[in-house]
Amino acid sequence: MHKIVDSVYDIIAFSNGIIFTQKTVLENGAVKVNFYGYDIKRMQNTPVTKSVYLLNKFGAEYKKIAEQLGDYVSCDADIMASKHSVVVYDSGETGIFSPEGDMIWSCDLSYQGSEINGVVVDGNQFWSVVPEKNCVVCYSTTYKKFSMRLGSQESTSFQNPVAISKYDNVLYICNKDSRKVRTINLKDYTVSDYRIFDEPVYKYLRSCGKEIVVLESGVYVL
């Protein structure tokens, strides 16, 4: 594994590699967010702007969406085939934006009283994790309700799942307590181990043919 940086506030993929943010608390108490890029192929830092970060996170109408959100860094986001953007905060606060950048729906989503985290779209629905319930849930944007759950509070399939990503037809679930990335095959919903680490894993993503993980000790290219 090749270590990129010690810690990040947010991290997303883009055409040349990854963009990550770090925050600094100023003397007056204000928080400053800095944006950095890392070129996966060249294995070196690369200049990146806030606009590039926002474009890759929210889509073409990123300016309008970011203005409405205010805090555009501490949320997770994904873009549907219809160009609608779905945004989820760790508090469960969820919003859907039209292709024109207008918020058309918002709700504080919880599953059995516990907040959802993360978002990956899948047709007219999206998947999230529920850390307190040790499960992964699917939410229908058409019917505005949960349509499926995998795992449970009593099960060890997922142990404090904190992040979710999707590649091809497979979900990748980062489990903080078991220190595993586990997969869900969306063809038959089988759950399997994918990666096991010696420390908590907080995020898994891919870019430029490489795998990137956020572990407790930093961000690594596998």
Helix (H, G, I), strand (E, B) or coil at 28: coil
Q: What is residue 24's predicted lDDT score, i.e. its pLDDT? A: 80
Cβ-based neighbours of 94, under 8 Å, separated by 6 or more? 86, 87, 88, 106, 107, 108, 109, 116, 119
For the whole model, what pTM was predicted?
A: 0.95
H and E: helices and strands count for the chain: 2, 22
Q: Along the 222 residues of the chain, how does pLDDT read in single tens digits?
A: 899 999 999 999 999 999 999 988 777 777 788 999 999 999 999 889 999 999 999 999 999 999 999 999 999 999 999 999 999 999 999 999 999 999 999 999 999 999 999 999 999 999 999 999 999 999 999 999 999 999 998 889 999 999 999 999 999 999 999 999 999 999 999 999 999 999 999 999 999 999 999 999 999 999
Give me the pLDDT at residue 189, please.
96
Query: How far does Cα 138 stand from its chain's mean position?
Result: 15
d(C-alpha 212, C-alpha 222), whole Å: 6
